[in-house]
């Protein structure tokens, strides 16, 4: 979700002072749990998908959403913006029993808000909830699951807000700390597959018309430059790398009934891959004909080895 307000969308948070070296924020270790698997996928290809649901309760009732989500060839499925509380998760686990290994993270800062999940058919090595900073981890925005040669990191990146009230938090705190978290995963010798609603329009090609939107959340120069800086740390936007001139979008405003038919969308959902893994990437896709949310699913096809 970007700057536009939608029903049940992100509410503004209290203004927070940006981090400085003289004013460090409290830290905590990421909540890592060993799962016990080898993380080895059985087939020659791995299909990893992500979908911003804009609330799983409404999404799961939509026609055909499970046709995509429960595909036989889908190995890992990531959810963003589930809007669940911890007490609600058990019921949804049963609906996705086809994925025996499930890791859900719910917001505790505000109930029924944000939320991410990773569902897998292969037992992973470990799972990490959050990035190790209390100020970020209370919103349930990140789940990192470790497999044999890479991590899958499902994220729902904070929105800068309608009035850009969280822009400094987003670009001067969250982005810096999350970038460091991704690099800490890479330091283990494994690559990273980072996917989700990243709430940024990186290039002009990633929106139907950038003119007049530079002060909208997701389109500000600060957010776009921050994403550029993250990529410069050794990561690749897989869709843009494989489709350098293709104008295809993952989000269409529900307020504009002609947005989809006239292709007036934004690309907010990304699959970012460690540079070292790009040689294994076979496809990076946006399923813009799959309905169920104001976002469409994105998917990576990767050689297993």
Which residues are identified as catalytic? 156, 197
Which residue blocks in 47-121 are alpha helix, DSSP H? 56-59, 65-69, 89-95
Residue 109, Cβ neighbours under 10 Å: how many?
14
What secondary structure letter does DSSP report for 16? -
For 59, phi then psi, to 5°, come to -60, -45
For 255, phi then psi, to 5°, come to -75, -20
Closest C-alpha among 179, 194, 277 to residue 228: 179
For 124, phi then psi, to 5°, come to -80, 175
CB 192 within 8 A of CB 151: yes
CA 73 to mean position of chain CA atoms? 21
Taken in order 232, 236, 241, 245, the sign of the CA dihedral is: negative
Interacting residues of 18 by C-beta distance below 8 A, sequence separation 6+ = 168, 169, 172, 173
What are residue 286's DSSP bridge partners?
A: 298
What are residue 150's DSSP bridge partners?
A: 191
Residue 79, Cβ neighbours under 10 Å: how many?
27
What is the torsion angle, in degrees rounded to the nearest 10, for the CA atoms of residue 210, residue 205, residue 272 and residue 44? 150
């Amino acid at each position: 979700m970007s700057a536009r307000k939608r029903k049940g969308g992100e509410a503004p948070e209290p203004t927070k002072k940006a981090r400085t070296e003289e004013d460090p924020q409290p830290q905590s270790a990421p909540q890592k749990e060993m799962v016990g698997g080898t993380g080895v996928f059985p087939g020659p290809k791995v299909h990893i998908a992500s979908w911003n649901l804009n609330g799983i309760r409404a999404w799961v009732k939509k026609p055909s959403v499970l046709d995509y989500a429960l595909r036989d060839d889908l190995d890992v499925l990531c959810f963003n913006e589930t809007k669940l509380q911890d007490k609600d998760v058990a019921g949804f686990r049963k609906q996705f029993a086809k994925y025996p290994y499930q890791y859900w993270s719910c917001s505790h800062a505000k109930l029924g808000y944000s939320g991410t999940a990773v569902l897998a058919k292969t037992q992973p090595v470990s799972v990490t909830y959050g990035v190790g900073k209390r100020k970020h981890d209370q919103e349930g925005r990140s789940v990192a699951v470790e497999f044999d040669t890479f991590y899958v990191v499902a994220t729902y990146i904070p929105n800068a807000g309608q009035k850009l009230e969280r822009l400094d938090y987003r670009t001067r705190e969250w982005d810096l700390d999350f970038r460091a978290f991704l690099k800490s995963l890479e330091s283990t010798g494994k690559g990273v597959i980072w996917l989700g609603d990243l709430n940024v329009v990186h290039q002009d090609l990633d929106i139907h018309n950038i003119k007049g939107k530079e002060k909208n959340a997701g389109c500000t120069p600060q957010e776009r430059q921050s994403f550029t800086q993250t990529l410069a740390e050794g990561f690749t936007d897989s869709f843009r790398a494989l489709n350098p001139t293709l104008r295809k979008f993952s989000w269409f405003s529900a307020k504009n009934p002609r947005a989809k038919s006239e292709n007036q969308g934004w690309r907010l959902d990304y699959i970012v891959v460690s540079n070292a893994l790009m040689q294994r990437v076979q496809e990076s896709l946006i399923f813009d004909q799959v309905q169920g949310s104001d976002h469409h699913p994105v998917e990576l096809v990767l050689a297993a080895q």
